[in-house]
Amino acid sequence: MRLLFVCTGNRCRSPLAERLAARWAAEALGSLADAVTTESAGTDATAGEPMEERSALALAELGGDPRGVAARILNPSDIEGADLVLTMTRTHRRRVLELAPRAMRRTFTLTEAAALLSIVDPAALAAAPVAERGRALATLLSRARAFRAGGPEDDIPDPIGRPLEEHRDVAARIARDLQPLTGVLFTPAADPLRTATRPSVAD
């Protein structure tokens, strides 16, 4: 299963989501986490730039590891190889689809995907191999799109250049939206709605 997270500069939001997902996969799946690849890229990234230090701190506070993050520029091959593409805003989603129009059924904003999950039944995913769950979940979410209208609430703001507290707020929102999705994707047991033990993001 390959998950791709997309933002603008690949220094705050998308690497934070990528590293949280990787941490939660390892915690929930153990050796089965080898079937999961988490990646991130930016629509306007400068390749090689490190993670923004305040977002790195916010990530570490949630239990993620910011070490080794280096910004990457989004390219079509990233998208075409992903089972599920999760963007931080609707603008990023449009950019993804400009690069890879066939990815429409696999591309959502993170907030959109979390909201759509609440109106589908992902129970069948529990029986699927971990490697196949990303694509299967994308199919379920795509079918549910007709029943939900998106809007500005689907955009997670860019905290670049903002105070630490704003980076923490954005990190908490990303974690809250990501948790239900990874609860389905990474659960090794028969119940796909069981959420693995993770650092609290309630505060």
* pLDDT score for 44: 97
Q: Which residues contact 155 (CB under 8 A, 6 or more apart)?
A: 88, 89, 90, 91, 109, 111
What is the greatest pairwise CA distance in the chain?
44
Give the C-alpha separation, 166 to 151, whole Å. Answer: 22
CA of residue 85 relative to chain centroid, distance: 7
Per-residue pLDDT of the chain (203 residues; tens, 9 = 90+): 999 999 999 999 999 999 999 999 999 999 999 999 999 999 999 999 999 999 999 999 999 999 999 999 999 999 999 999 999 999 999 999 999 999 999 999 999 999 999 999 998 898 899 999 999 999 999 999 999 999 999 999 999 999 999 999 999 999 999 999 999 999 875 543 444 444 444 43
Please name each of the domains of the chain with its CATH number. 2-185 (3.40.50.2300)
CB 15 within 8 A of CB 86: no
* pLDDT score for 189: 56
* pLDDT score for 198: 41
Give the C-alpha separation, 75 to 24, whole Å. Answer: 26
Q: Which of 27, 13, 20 is nearest to 186 (CA)?
A: 27
Edge-to-edge strand list for the sheet holding 84-87: 37-42, 2-7, 84-87, 107-109
Q: Which residues contact 200 (CB under 8 A, 6 or more apart)?
A: none
Q: What angle do CA 146, 85, 27 make, to 5 degrees?
A: 115
Q: Reduce the secondary structure of 72-94 to three states and give it as a string.
A: CECCHHHHHCCCEEEECCHHHHH
* pLDDT score for 139: 96
What pTM does this model have? 0.91
Helix (H) or strand (E) holding 169: helix 164-185
* pLDDT score for 36: 96
